[in-house]
Structure 1
Amino acid sequence: MKIIIAGAGEVGFHLAKLLSYESQEITLIDIDKESLAYADTHLDIKVLRGDTTSIAILKEAKIDVCDLFIAVTAIETTNITVCVLAKQLGAKKTIARITNTEFINFKDEVGFTKFGIDELISPESLAAAEIELSLKQSSFNETYEFEDGALTMVGLTLSSSASFVGKMVKEAAEILPEIHFIPIAIQRFGTQYTIIPRGDTEFKRGDNVVFITSEGGAEELCKLTGKDNTDIKDVMILGGSQIGFKSARDLSDKGFNVKLLEANKERAFDIADDLPNVLVIQSDGRNVDILDEENISGMDAFIAVGDNSETNIMSCLVAKSKGVKKTIALVENMDYFELSHSVGIETLINKKLLAANNIFRYIRKGEVLAMTKLSNMNAEILEFEVKASSSICNKYIKNIDFPRSAIIGGVIRNDEGVIALGDFKIQEGDKVVVCSLLQSIKGVEKLFR
């Protein structure tokens, strides 16, 4: 697959890095010499220096045989313009990064596909949505919804209070008369290895376990693991960035009591004018005394979305020390994921990873409706739509020659999520959620073509 990426910033570089691991043919375009030089020496890709809106540069990149064109420069108008040009010059599919969420809200009404843009993505909006979902499922350190919550992925670390620690998966399944959740991935404490669980896999204390849940499953998991799904009402946000602004706006619209701290005076006043239902405080929230003055200990959740990852992490640690139950930090360095979980920060948000997840489904074979990479795990969760031609269609799960390092987590049929076991028959139109280690993804894709 030939992929051209316009923009070698943090999102573009991260995408190029992940896609290069997939043995895709990648060309990265940017005007910045230093960014391209770094990408050229660290990644197995082709780099091309020049203006991304230059038709000559696009032709040099062989836009006429491009399968996927991704515009992720820092300038929204540039991304829209270059996608239109790319489509007219022969690109099969185009994706533009935008910051104005009105474009996404009214994309069908405007008809972006008519003039050459197949998909719009906003890493900031994706991050804000991830924050809202994390507050909704406050007991878990990782969450993702399929089809508006028909099935939900949740991740947690097992403590000694979990009733199924020391039991095998098949034994744990016998605890409840009906099954509304299933484990799909396990990372043992202190290791980097991802396990796709089977019936004889044993749950151990300290395991980081990812589950797929249907309706009621999250509540059952909380009960069995000794977790308390705290009702979040009072939220403090550190940082008036685009993510901070969008999170404050969306959460206040949903009835949360939101307090936002922003050090820049002009930015703080602008946010206060735009968000009358949010208490905006012009203050450096990195100062512990100021956090105490603003009653951080009375907050249900603390969200740090400033420009500096280290500051966000440290601020969340301060919040934890003050008794805040749910902390969320925006981080840019993926290496921080394991570290932050080990010191007690529940949820980490990474814009690059969210954007990559949103884009990755376009390079997967079969009808991929959604996908997410598991944080700090060597696995992906994909949602496929079953076609009549799919080899998996009209077969019982137990009779499908499924890769050993992959598992079906659940099926959505008629908008209802089901935890599907061996005697479940897959039908045309079903939406099947699969967790797979990276080496088995191609084998899984073949089943849904």
Structure 2
Amino acid sequence: MGFLGKRFKEATGLNIIIVGCGVVGTALVEQLVVENHDITVVDTSPQKVQKITDTYDVMGVVGNGASFSVQKEAGIVDADLIIAVTDSDELNLLCCTVASRVGHCSTIAKVRNPEYSHELNHIKDRLGLAMIVNPEYEASREIYKILCLPTALEATSFAHGKADLVKIRIPHGNILDGMTIAQLGKSTNDVLVCGVERNNQIYIPTGDFELKAGDMLSFVAPAKKVSDFLKQIGFKTNKVKNTMIIGGGDAGYYLAKRLSDNGIDVCLIDKDKERCEEIATLLPKVVVINGNGVDEDLLNEEGLQSAESFVTLTGSDEENILLTVHAKQFSNAKLVTKINRIRFKDAINTLDIGSVIYPRYITSEAIIAYVRAKSASKGSNVETLYHLFDHRVEAVEFKIDKESKVTNVPIMKLKLKDNLLICFIFRRGKVIIPSGQDCILPGDSVMIVTTHTGFNDISNILA
């Protein structure tokens, strides 16, 4: 047991202990330090703790995060929040249980095992957890959303599933090529373009911004209107009928179950015989093949060339990328690649390998949304947080609890920060794409997109 690290400035946010310095723990540190929280990391590996404390302005404790003495050394008595994200579900739950007995902080645990999936609400209530996060389950949900809109590169939900944020690439010859945002607005009132990436530059577009072929475009719309818009601009909108999944880990299991439950044919390939037998028993509708996913002959035998979608979910980023590149060459399948660690990210972005899923960020965004809500004033709460364009743009959904400087004022009269858009207002079950005359009211949920970072209250939108 030992203490590492030093703090160079006084943090002004929450006192947070993060147990586990793996990919999720590191992603949390990376974001929460920027937002000026007081962070202490705990891990049994001195090397991992040393690496994080050398890289970021955080404190570090080497030891078992479920130990009372280790938690005490990490400052549990004064902590506002403990986040347990080790590789062990049981250790994470024990960390939170000990913390709740010793301190007065909120607790968040990472729990991945599908055996617990039907008991999570019970576990959360019994242990008094603020949140349980499951990276593989959330990744499967995001992948399923993409496979339902296979021409989309990204798709995520806001407003309790009533609004979607969708990312596409404008192909050559498309109707959007050469169209301004204002012209697009005249043709549809249900869609708002909220971000464009062109030549590695990010734009929060105004009405005179002209779209071009090759642009990466993110738009928000009521969930029921997304397919209509994509059809209008010449994109296919039918969800895939079959999927080939490489990798039978937790993410592969969750995705295969979700797809088969919704009538989509699934072929899952994994090289672990016992795991294949287990999945075949749990998911009788899924075709489970025991074999090596990098075997070209096996992929061809199992129908790669006719597959409508191809998802790589192995534990190796390099293998996932290689498989996706191969599938792109020999099939017309919708491609989805899981990346666990961020290595050579710029190079990955140049490969054009379809949709790329980062479970570590899906998980960290849910936790950071909670942290921002906890550290905010009582006027509004962060409901949902999502990062766009390699974390250069934030989409934040706020729940408006009471009147403030932004309520009951026409949007056109609000003095908003630059590079910021109010994308929708969710009111009484209806998604409103706002005009300048619309007002934000108490009880609404409001989503904003901005290149600024760290917003934890709706008042942050004001200049």
Query: Per the shorter chain, which TM-score range?
Result: over 0.9
Deviation string, structure 1 residues 409-438 (Cα, Å, up to 9, x no partner): 111111221211211122111111111213
Q: For the structure 1 residues 56 and 89, does the alpha-carbon distance in structure 2 shift closer, same or farther, using more than 3 Å as the test? A: same
Cα distance in 1, alignment partners of residues 319 and 459 from structure 2? 41
Structure 2 residue 35 is the aligned partner of structure 1 residue 22: yes
Aligned equivalents of 1:45, 1:96: Cα separation in 2: 20
Q: 1:213 to 1:336 in 2, by over 3 A?
A: farther
Q: What residue is the counterpart of 1:435 in the other structure?
A: 449
Residues 259, 279 of structure 1: 8 Å contact kept: yes
Paired residues for 1:62-77 under 5 Å? 62-77=75-90
Query: Aligned partners of 2:454 and 2:370: how far apart in 1?
Result: 18
Aligned ranges 1:43-442 → 2 under 5 Å? 43-101=56-114, 103=116, 105-108=118-121, 110=122, 112-113=124-125, 115-174=127-186, 176=187, 178-189=188-199, 191=200, 193-334=201-342, 339-364=347-372, 365=376, 366-439=380-453, 441=455
C-alpha RMSD over aligned residues: 2.1
Quick one: structure 1 residues 275 and 322, their matched pair in 2 at CA, closer, same or farther if it must change by over 3 Å? same
Q: 1:91 offset after TM fit, Å?
A: 3.9
8 Å contact from structure 1 (residues 337, 376) kept in 2: no
Q: Distance in 1 between matches of 2:433 and 2:241?
A: 31
User: Alpha carbons of 1:323 and 1:115: their partners in 2 closer, same or farther (altered >3 Å)?
Assistant: closer
Amino acid at match of 2:298: I
Residue by residue over 1:384-425, the C-alpha shift from the partner in whole angstroms, topping out at 9 and shown as x without a partner, is 111223322222211222211211111111122121121112
CA distance in 2, matches of 1:439, 1:95: 23
Q: How far, CA to CA, are the matches of 1:207 and 1:447 in structure 2?
A: 26
CA displacement at 1:124 relative to structure 2: 1.0
Q: List gaps (5 residues or longer) in structure 1.
A: none
Shift of residue 301, structure 1, vs aligned partner: 0.5
3-state SS of paired residue (1:343): coil
TM-score by length of 2: 0.90
Q: Equivalents in 2 of 1:188, 1:404: separation in Å?
A: 19
**CA displacement at 1:216 relative to structure 2:** 4.6
1:447 Cα deviation after fit: 5.7
1:203 deviation in Å?
1.4
Distance 1:406 1:443 in 2: 14
Query: C-alpha offsets along residues 12-64 of structure 1, whole Å, 9 cap, x if unaligned?
Result: 12211221222221100011111112112222211111110111221121112
Q: Deviations over 1:324-345 (max 9, x none)?
A: 3311111123355554454332
Which residue of 1 is the match for residue 8 of structure 2?
A: none
Q: How many residues align?
A: 443
Report % sequence identity: 26
TM-score by length of 1: 0.93
Letter in 2 for 1:431: S
Structure 1 distance, partners of 2:459, 2:306, is 48
SS of alignment partner, residue 371 of structure 2: coil
Q: Contact 1:159 / 1:225 at 8 angstroms: preserved in 2?
A: no
* C-alpha separation in 1, matches of 2:413 and 2:41: 44
